[in-house]
Amino acid sequence: MTTELFTQYLFAGITYGIIYAIVAIGFNIIYNTTGIINFAQGEFVMLGGMISISLNPLMPLPLAIGFAVLLTTLIGALIEMIFIRWLVHPSVLRMIIITIGISILIREVALHIWGEGVRSLPYFYGNEISSINILGTHVSPQVLWVVGICSVIVALLSLFFKFTPLGQEMRACSANRLAATLCGINAKNMVTLSFMLSAGIGALAGCVVSPITYTQYDCGTGLAIKGFTVAVLGGLGNSMAAVAAGLLLGILEAFSIHIVPLAFQDAISISILLLILFIRPHGLFGSSEAAGLKEF
């Protein structure tokens, strides 16, 4: 393998990996506040991309992206308020079916609005053939946008959770909901906020990666599965670990093209999912005792 090919794979892996990580963080935020795994997480990414593509002809790109993220965030809030907010102690199975149902609905609505076609946002800088020379390899500037924006998302999120009052309230909610309520924190609003946050970051990721991966009405499902794989790989609920795990999965997938036919590429991430679930379900960075205490 030449150095050039190696670096190509590496950057491809990092690009996809960090997107998986964002989806995983979206899972983690909602999981931490509610214990629910939101199967519709991938659809937020798809919606971000699709909405911004539709808005793009009407306004400059940054505005289109901004509105797309805003709209998707609102959709996230709506979903929570319509379907989730008023449930009392739902069982795991019930939540799984409801969120899968939501995911199917969003997908079908997207199909009827945007059709089956594959679309994409224009490149933020240059076009599909422009490239920058990094480490002797030609890399699209869009890759830098993806890595840059996603890193900013991760950094802002950790600052938000650590230092802002709202972020700390959300953390309190996820640690012990009852105690948080007793402290005057409105837990129900925290849940809505977590959905909004997950939807927002998902949408932004969807916009920024659209020129490279294209966007299609059904691209959400695959992303959700890979995002969940990454979340479990890092340890459910641990967002920093999700970043590491995401990069790991992305790079593994990218390099696997060298050995495995393209048709089986998906099988790689699923095999990793099954492997981690069978051998170490609390994730690479999680502890089994802490995981045992949480009620998934």
List residues near another protein by CB under 8 A.
37, 83, 87, 90-94, 96-98, 100-105, 107-109, 112, 221, 225, 228, 232, 261, 263-264, 266-267, 270-271, 273-274, 277-278, 281, 289, 296
CB closer to another protein out of 152 and 275? 275
CB of 279 to another protein, least distance (A): 9
Torsion 65-237-169-163 (CA) sign? negative
CB of 102 to another protein, least distance (A): 6
CA 177 – CA 200 distance, rounded (Å): 23
Measure CA 87 to chain center. Answer: 25
CA 268 – CA 261 distance, rounded (Å): 11
CB closer to another protein out of 22 and 231? 231
CB of 269 to another protein, least distance (A): 9
CB closer to another protein out of 139 and 231? 231
CB closer to another protein out of 59 and 267? 267
> How many Cβ atoms sit within 10 Å of the Cβ of residue 137?
18
Report yes or no: 221 and 124 within 8 Å, Cβ to Cβ. Answer: no
User: At 10, which amino acid appears?
Assistant: L
CB of 70 to another protein, least distance (A): 25
Report yes or no: 231 and 272 within 8 Å, Cβ to Cβ. Answer: no
